[in-house]
Structure 1
Amino acid sequence: MNLQAFLITFREAMEAILIVGVILTYLKRIGETRWSKWVWVGVVLALVASYGVALLFQVALTGYESMSNQNYLRIGIMLASTALLTHMILFMTKQGRSHQLSVQTKVAAILTTGGILNMVIHSFLITLREGVETVFFFAAIGGGDIQSAMNNWGALLGLVTACVIGYLFFRGTKRISLKHYFRVTSVFLMLIAGGLLVQAVGIMQDIGIIGSAYRTAGGQIAEVYNIEWFMPEHPNDEAHYIRDTGHHPLINGQVGVFFKAFLGYTHNPSLEEFGVYWAYYFFVFLVLTRRKKPDTAASVSEGAEGPETVGNAPVQRQGA
């Protein structure tokens, strides 16, 4: 199972489910359930459109026949995905009272104008945005092969898990802490983003777009350290290590492949790969730390106003 595909699908699907759930619950509360079917029409159309986007994107990626063009495209997708994931981690995890009221205000405006088409378009765009982001992230983690990520059990399991949690939350049968959910998934998404970033740096160095400040006496890009003996990043590296040394690494290359795909692990990073990797985590940590104090004050203020509810389930406030 592709853990990256699971986490990305789970997170994106959950965000769409939460927003659509707020709309449906609001319609039920004000006695306007006749509009619910149009919300579902928009959701279904968005799912079909998202699959169409995936097919078109795959065709476009396949059109880059030369290896150099594919590398440039992979770099662009990885960097863009890193930026989108970082934005999601830092700015899109606060699904609190203000977000809920914003969604309800838009729905109320649509009901006032009485436009069925507007309701369909609203739910369509909400779901389509998450679907397109998922396609883009799949292109990044699959190295341009979107179908491999879509056909993986991880993607299906992520979607099913999101649906189950969303159902339990809005049914109110269980108390689901969305605050903890967003925190935990944000950590994993941060690890994925850092891995994509360092892989992009590695590809840029491999094809000569950027050099290195740390080189060997022969002018080659030097490695900061080499822990191939501990865990090679690929079975081929493991085979070469066994051939050259006569010893087996402590952890085999199959495990190394997983960590390389998930965390951007490399057993012999360049100075730039090492520096960018940890600088990225430091940047995210710094931003989250600076936001922690204002968020805490806001939570205390909201707590004084009373708990939030969506249907029968209390809405847990989230912080990054």
Structure 2
Amino acid sequence: MSVGAFLITFREALEAAIIVAIIIAYLRRTGRERQIKDVWIGTALSIGVSALLGIGILKFYGGLGEKELFEGIASYLAVIVLTSMIYWMATKGRNIKAEIESKVSQTIAPLALIGFTFIVVFREGLETVLFLTPFMTQSPGGTLLGLAAGLAGALLLAYLIYGVGMRINLRKFFYYSSILLVFVAAGLAGYGTHELIEWGEEEGFSLGVLEETAYDLGIPSDSLWHHNGAVGSVFAVLFGYSTSMEWGRVIVQFGYLIVALYLVLRAYGKEPSMRPKKARSRSAS
């Protein structure tokens, strides 16, 4: 199972489930229970279109001869969208409930509510498809397992929160998961750079020092610790680990990691305090 696919799908599916739960809870609170079916229609349509989009992208990929070029571009695109999603959640996500309820209060007609639900859920589906494309090109079976496990985990957690009433600090959850996703995105940026370097070499482009080997750990390909091995592959997905890297990959991967971590930590301000507000107010007085 692809750990990266699981983490990304879990995060995206949980966001979608939270959005749907907020809409349904608002409709019930305002006496609009009859429109809940419109929410489910919009959700089903968004899931169906996202699945068709994913199939279409994979078929398009299968028809391409230049595998390295596609994987490099797909990885870069996933990094761009993943970064924007992480930063948006850090800066704007704290007001997501108020924003959604405000939009739903203005959305009265059934088709309008279906369309609104479709758009907000499809955004998560589109992001998931773009994120998982690089993983699908590397390990289709493992990615599908990660996708299924991520969906199941997200739906279970959403049910425990909104169905059973389990208390969880979503702000802290998104904070720590965002940091982990930054490492995943950095690994994707490095992998995409590696693929583009290989494509450039095949096409006869010379990148000079950027295509030269920065380091080589000398770990054999059949070792558990190789980036394709049982243990190394987990670190490769989560942290961008590789037994050897070109200078171009090192610069892009670790440069992205430093900048993205700085922006995310600054957006959240600081690590969420584990102390309750009352305790802080007493200590301040």
Q: Which of the five TM-score ranges fits, normalised by the shorter chain? A: 0.7 to 0.9
1:23 matched residue in structure 2:
23
Secondary structure at the residue paired with 1:254? Answer: coil
What does 1:47-196 align with in structure 2 at a 5 Å threshold? 47-64=47-64, 66=65, 69-93=66-90, 94-96=92-94, 98-111=95-108, 115-143=109-137, 148=141, 151-152=144-145, 154-171=146-163, 173-196=165-188
Counterpart of 1:177, as a letter, is N
Identity, % of aligned positions: 27
Deviations 1:82-140 (A, max 9, x none): 111111121224432x32121111111112xxx11111111112222211221111111
- 1:157: how far off? 1.4
- 1:15: how far off? 0.8
Give the direction of change, closer, same or farther, for the CA distance of 1:134–1:18 in structure 2 (3 Å limit).
Answer: same
- 1:158: how far off? 0.9
Distance 1:150 1:101 in 2: 34
Give the direction of change, closer, same or farther, for the CA distance of 1:23–1:130 in structure 2 (3 Å limit).
Answer: same
Counterpart of 2:18, as a letter, is L
Deviations 1:213-239 (A, max 9, x none): 26xxxxxx543322224xx5x43xx4x
- 1:258: how far off? 3.2
2:282 matched residue in structure 1:
none
Give the direction of change, closer, same or farther, for the CA distance of 1:119–1:204 in structure 2 (3 Å limit).
Answer: same
Structure number with the higher helix fraction is 2
Distance 1:251 1:70 in 2: 20
- 1:143: how far off? 2.1
Distance 2:57 2:250 in 1: 32
Secondary structure at the residue paired with 2:217? Answer: coil
Secondary structure at the residue paired with 1:199? Answer: helix
1:211 matched residue in structure 2:
207
- 1:292: how far off? 4.4
Counterpart of 1:135, as a letter, is V
Distance 2:226 2:56 in 1: 43
What does 1:269-284 align with in structure 2 at a 5 Å threshold? 269-284=245-260
Give ranges in structure 2 of 5+ residues lacking alignment.
Answer: 279-285
CA contact (8 A) 1:141 1:196 kept: no
Counterpart of 1:87, as a letter, is S
Give the direction of change, closer, same or farther, for the CA distance of 1:222–1:53 in structure 2 (3 Å limit).
Answer: closer
Secondary structure at the residue paired with 2:215? Answer: coil
TM-score normalized with structure 2 length: 0.84
Distance 1:294 1:130 in 2: 26
User: In angstroms, what is the RMSD of aligned CA positions?
Assistant: 2.8
Counterpart of 1:90, as a letter, is Y
CA contact (8 A) 1:204 1:210 kept: no
1:268 matched residue in structure 2:
244
Counterpart of 1:103, as a letter, is I
Give the direction of change, closer, same or farther, for the CA distance of 1:99–1:210 in structure 2 (3 Å limit).
Answer: farther
CA contact (8 A) 2:87 2:267 kept: no
Give ranges in structure 1 of 5+ residues lacking alignment.
Answer: 215-220, 239-247, 297-302, 305-320
State how many pairs are aligned. Answer: 269
Give the direction of change, closer, same or farther, for the CA distance of 1:119–1:264 in structure 2 (3 Å limit).
Answer: same
1:255 matched residue in structure 2:
231
Corresponding position: 1:13 with 2:3: no
Deviations 1:189-226 (A, max 9, x none): 11111111111111222222562426xxxxxx543322
Distance 1:263 1:27 in 2: 42
Give the direction of change, closer, same or farther, for the CA distance of 1:272–1:142 in structure 2 (3 Å limit).
Answer: same
CA contact (8 A) 2:72 2:194 kept: no
